[in-house]
Amino acid sequence: MKLSHELIDTFYSAFQKKDSETMKGCYLSEATFNDEVFKNLNGYQAGKMWEMLLKNGKDMQMVYEITDDNVAFPKAKWTATYTFSKTGRKVVNVIYAEFVIKDGKILTHTDSFDFHRWAKQAFGPMGILLGWTGFFKTKIQKTVSQTLENYITKHP
């Protein structure tokens, strides 16, 4: 069984190398993932989400640090820098991750970030005006959910 520090380091090191297969292997099959836009993903969907994001994010760079090495509940902070494909705008997103570890793998993974800050960067003026609204956030959540569903259908 991997220690939580080793598991989280393996996960984010794979992320830096754009190795979605290793990232997928860090999750239990019954895992759940949530962040500000991707909601209630199971382990399979979370793995496919990382695969999709890494394939689409050709210029993505990320750095991370493990901020709490608790054996069962580690935390990390990571920063992703990339070009948002829908608008061509540069985004620097600071994300705080919380995990629940079971049997040496990720059972629960929750990422949080400032959605309005992200929307301002990703969408420019529209994000500035609407990024703070629940309507805009819900629309983005529905859009990315459909995008992931379509990706999984094409890449089972």
Q: Domain range for residue 22?
A: 4-114
Would 33 be classed as within a structural domain? yes
**How confident is the model at residue 71, as a pLDDT?**
84
62 domain residue, yes or no: yes
Instruction: Note the pLDDT of residue 1.
Output: 44
Find the length of the chain: 156
Q: Is residue 32 part of a domain?
A: yes
Between CA 96 and CA 12 the distance in angstroms is 13
Report residues of the chain scoring pLDDT below 50. 1
Long-range contacts of 80-84 (CB under 8 A, 24+ apart): 82/57, 83/57, 83/59, 84/121, 84/122, 84/123
pLDDT of residue 5: 85
Residues 83, 102: Cα–Cα separation, whole Å: 34
Residue 129 falls inside a structural domain: no
Tally of domains in the chain: 1
Question: At 22, which helix (H) or strand (E)?
Answer: helix 20-25
Please list, in sequence order, all residues whose beta carbon lies within 8 angstroms of the beta carbon of residue 13, skipping any fewer than 6 positions away: none
Other C-beta atoms closer than 10 Å to the C-beta of 106 total 25
Task: Choose among 70, 71, 80, 72: nearest CA to 15.
Answer: 80
Q: Please report whether residue 21 resides in a domain.
A: yes
Q: Which two tokens stand for residue 125?
A: 């003026």
The predicted structure's pLDDT at residue 2:
57
Average pLDDT of the chain to the nearest whole number: 94
* CATH number for position 60: 3.10.450.50
Q: What is the pLDDT of residue 4?
A: 84
Buried-exposed string 68-92: b where 16+ CB fall within 10 A, e elsewhere: eeeeeebbbebebebbbeeeeeebe
For residue 70, the model assigns a pLDDT of 84
82 in any annotated domain:
yes
144: in domain: no
How far is it, in rounded angstroms, from Cα 47 to Cα 32?
A: 10
| pLDDT value, residue 140 | 96
Q: For residue 33, which of 65, 11, 61, 55 has the smallest C-alpha distance?
A: 11
User: d(Cα 91, Cα 76) in Å, to the nearest integer?
Assistant: 20
In a domain, 68, yes or no: yes
